[in-house]
A and B are shown apart, each in its own frame.
Chain A
Amino acid sequence: MQLIQLLIDGVASGCIYGLVALGFVLIYKATETINFAQGDILMLGAFVAYSLIGILGMDYLTGFALTVLIIAVFGFFLDAVVVRQIIGQPAFATVMLTIGLGFIFRGFASIYWGTDIFSFSTPFSGKITEFNGLIISYVNLSIIVGTAVLMSVLYFFFTFSKIGVAMRASSENQLAAYYMGIPVKFIFSLIWSISAGVAAVAGVLLAPITLVDTSISLIGLKAFAAAVLGGFGSIPGAIVGGIIIGIVEQLCGTYENYLFEGVREISAYLVLILTLIIYPRGLFSDKAEVKKV
């Protein structure tokens, strides 16, 4: 029973990793760049939600929707104005650029909102439900349900909507997409905005658990483990990878005595390194995308 309880907590935190990893994967699939600032965008989302809900006193759902919208627009212009200039430079340049952007966001957040820890009330805060002796908090439930809803929305979007199909086409082959009359640059900016929006959703869902401060941007680094485990380039892989990382982290935390001290904090990174060494393709990759030497 304790194990199931752990699994539920693990799945909930894993969903957050999965959502952030999903942001990486969307951008990587499309433009072959990795956005190291994904965690910082999540942080911005949480802060914007705090401003809207906590300070301006908006209704939770309205504030949620508005936050996602604001961050999505922000992501669109981030690509259109800054990141696009770097296309064609070595991978190293993109890595440095997005790291630099992450620092700017974090610095901005701590200047604008301050370095205190904030919280805002949600309809889920502090409520729990009991089921067969299992204690499930509403917050965890909201994360799991929110992820599931978002995933299905994205699934239908990418499968049935015209823009979604155009996005998949551009990811598959940029040049062919151009020839078919798809505005590839616009589509890429749109992908950045979806990715930022997903990060914002994760940020708002996470806010009741970790509270809001600048250190939550570190989630982005753990989400790398999720993305790599899922095979960087597969959308279901990102979520599954995230859930696995979340569960592993919970288990390592509980059974720390049998392993070694401090294993919980680095378990995600250990999984990441082991995946890269042993099975760099990841679980869900359909093609061998990692070159080997």
Chain B
Amino acid sequence: MSDLTELGVAAIRDGVAKGDFTAVEVAEAFNANVAAAQPALNAFIVATPEKAVEAARMVDADRAAGKALGKMAGVPIGMKDLFATRGVQTTAASHILEGFTPEYESTVSQKLWDAGAGMLGKLNLDQFAMGSSNETSHFGNVVSPWRRNDGGNAPLAPGGSSGGSSAAVSARLCPAATGTDTGGSIRQPAAFTGIAGIKPTYGRCSRWGIVAFASSLDQAGSMARDVRDCAIMLEAMAGFDPKDSTSLDLPVPAWEAGLSADLKGRKVGIPREYRLDGMDGEVAASWEAGIAWLKDAGAEVVDISLPHTKYALPTYYIIAPAEASSNLARYDGVRYGLRDLPEGAGLQDMYAATRAAGFGAEVKRRILIGTYVLSAGFYDAYYTQAQKVRTLISRDFKDAFASVDVILAPTAPSAAFALGEKSADPLEMYLNDVFSVPASLAGLPAMSVPAGLNSQGLPLGLQLIGRPFDEQGVLDAGLAIEQRAGFAAKPEQWW
């Protein structure tokens, strides 16, 4: 093998199993790429090369001993720094949790280690997963490995909040990475960097040990270079967890084994409300291409209506901050993390100083919005109303899925934008989530797959949204697009 870091999850797993190379060789190859990309890409907050090698050694030893190998055996991965990892700093890219080292391991990461994966390090993200460009991280923004073909070399956003994950996977720093998706945080960065990423049905993956942003929306998922790799990794991550009351008590299907790009007899819905006025022409064109590919795969394509789509974004930006304002109350300087105790300060002063220093501007903004919409006198007008609209949005999907099996839409309204381009205007930044937020509000499985490059040489993604629990339908349609799009582009290494 010339370059092990060109391999994906399935190829590494199979190669290790067959003895084409050792897991330690794989881990060391990726460790080298991780080290070489720091600090240029800034994708990792902490690298853990020794963890990757240690896990790999165990896999090699198990193989030598003839033991059965796990679903992810020998695959080193990046772990979004929102997952608690025992003995390894877990920050949510915030100052308030800087230096926090948990004594516990999140359910999802533990499942991955149990399946034979190893950890290359903790990936950068938007602070507390709040952002669409990775610019809200306390540890500096991730820089996308992609550049426009205009020769300007403007640093681009890798998307957010799972921007460390997307950058690392597309730059071959890891074959796959965990992500979390609250309003699009797996799909939009996947689209921006030309990789695949799936957010499963709400409840598929345990939230236990994931730093909470918005509990009713947060969902972990997998990010990798193709659909099969996403399926393999998601199988290892998913499953009922009695420690999470909202966890789905359902068996995990064999998604990889069930993959089929033959869509004969399936119906694909094209939601007319997603055709926005002034839509980016290249995004619209890639959507048309996606429709053609799915037809080619045997699917019947029909127009559908999701009438409450236009209310999804405001609904999301009420519910998510409301939950966040409460979820983040625990970061108070009393028990762990940052404590700023000015001379002679009382409890209230300590709270104020700690939070002022510990939370970034975007996090503060969302706490303020959330506190406002829950406050007496505004609760009904905002929170109650938003919950009603959320129900209507779910109903839209339910009605649509009465006649179609999967929905096709763009993942994001544009290709990756430049760092700093939207950070001055939060509303413009929030608009980036316009296509991803409805599926989050309805708790539906959704994924982004690469569809091609735009005229600037930047990746565009297509989004597939499925029925509750039908990750298989989403993966199958994603695979059909993947096979026809023939996306083989990768960022040219400049770091």
Task: State whether these chains interact.
Answer: no
